[in-house]
Amino acid sequence: MQSDQWKFHDIISLNNSHDWGVPGLRYAQIPILKEIKTSEFVESLLQLKFDHQTTIGFALKERYKFDGNNEKLLEELDWLKSVRDLLLDEVDQRKGKPSGHSIQVLIDLDLNEAIQKLEATAHRLQQSQNNSC
């Protein structure tokens, strides 16, 4: 994520077009992000330039774009919410500064949508379970 944001995107999303020299290195349907400490992820994200942060945000949004894929990634919902909470804390600390605004944009455009997609999948699966009982 630190050195190549597009490589990160391609590795975690279904829209991957490169093999990056490591055939089969794809985690689009494996809930690996939950294994990353949220504080470390946010710290690394905040060290990036804004345009690189937006690439990471886009990668997260793309990761959860497809409902069928999300069934395999539901375990990451709490992780995503924790990342968002930590970023909201940063927004509060940087209130009135451009960096605070840019973090809020990342939350609004990418993280919230990713969370909503996973929540919708969870809700659909819960409804399906309730209907089958």
Looking at residue 132, its pLDDT comes to 74
Which of 42, 46, 69, 56 has the alpha carbon at shortest distance from 10? 56
Looking at residue 13, its pLDDT comes to 84
Summary mean pLDDT of the chain: 89
pTM over 0.85, yes/no: yes
Contact, 86 vs 38, CB < 8 A? Answer: yes
**pLDDT at 17 exceeding the cut of 70:** no
DSSP 19: -
Q: Name the residue range of residue 69's domain.
A: 5-132
* Each residue's pLDDT tens digit, 24-73: 557 888 999 999 999 999 999 999 999 999 999 999 999 999 888 899 99
Number of separate domains in the chain? 1
Contact, 81 vs 125, CB < 8 A? Answer: no
